[in-house]
Amino acid sequence: MTLSHTKSLAEALGKNVFPGLGMASELLEHIAALFVRRTYLSKAQLLTIGDQWKQVFYLHQGLVRIFYTDAKGREFNKSFFYENQLIWPVAPSVRTSQTHFTIAALEDLTVSECSFNRLHAMLKGSGYWEQFALLPYAERFAERLFRREYEFLLYSATERYQAFCREKPHLVQRIPDYHLASYLGMTNVTLSRIKNSPAFNLV
């Protein structure tokens, strides 16, 4: 990665990944220097079922999905990631055991990636690991899980789609309907019926 790319990535990481930690620009540049810039075509797999998750990805451009595949080959979308987000193995088990999911590009991607172990070592050595991983990420991760569980248990299919449109309007047109339907726990036919209903309201 060139010096200009390193400085640009350092600024992006400080703003979007490590906000509020008060990291010195020199440390951010050392972290950014760990990353390599790569591109992936749409549908490329960044991680495949059975792999150990050893990489960290910072998304500059594009959309990514994480999904499970059952014995019949059916796919079930777990989550989506987009620009200025960091994708990393939050759960310790996926760093040491075979994963049960796939990470794939929904659009052409431009990413910066590095070894999780190298990033972990630098953050640990500089005293920022706990501030980065244990509080903000753990809290947000738990919040997303509880909210998703609540919506699946108590919301109707229409209400789940309405909630997604309110919370992530910038993704509604980018995610193909069949992928969005899978994420929301409904069939593509059901989602189409909801979207085409005269009574449908995104309020």
What was the pLDDT predicted at 21? 85
pLDDT at residue 33 tops 70: yes
By residue count, the chain amounts to: 203
Confidence class of residue 135 from pLDDT cuts 50, 70 and 90?
Answer: low
- What b/e readout covers 70-89, taking b as 16+ CB neighbours within 10 angstroms? eeeeebebeebbbeeebbbb
What was the pLDDT predicted at 203? 46
Q: What percent of the chain has pLDDT over 90?
A: 72
Counting Cα atoms < 13 Å in the Cβ hemisphere of 194 gives: 20
What was the pLDDT predicted at 22? 87
Confidence class of residue 143 from pLDDT cuts 50, 70 and 90?
Answer: confident
pLDDT at residue 138 tops 80: no
Rounded distance between C-alpha atoms, residue 200 and residue 160, angstroms: 12
Which of 26-40, 108-122, 127-141, 160-174 is the least confident region? Answer: 127-141
Structure tokens at 86: 């960091």
Convert 115-130 into a string of H (helix), E (strand) and C (coil): EHHHHHHHHHHCCCHH
Rounded distance between C-alpha atoms, residue 61 and residue 38, angstroms: 11
Quote the DSSP letter at residue 87.
E
Confidence class of residue 25 from pLDDT cuts 50, 70 and 90?
Answer: very high
Do the Cβ atoms of 65 and 104 come closer than 8 Å? Answer: yes
Structure tokens at 131: 């501030």
pLDDT at residue 27 tops 70: yes
pLDDT at residue 201 tops 70: no
Distances (CA, A) of 140 to 6, 21, 136, 146, 182: 28, 16, 6, 10, 22
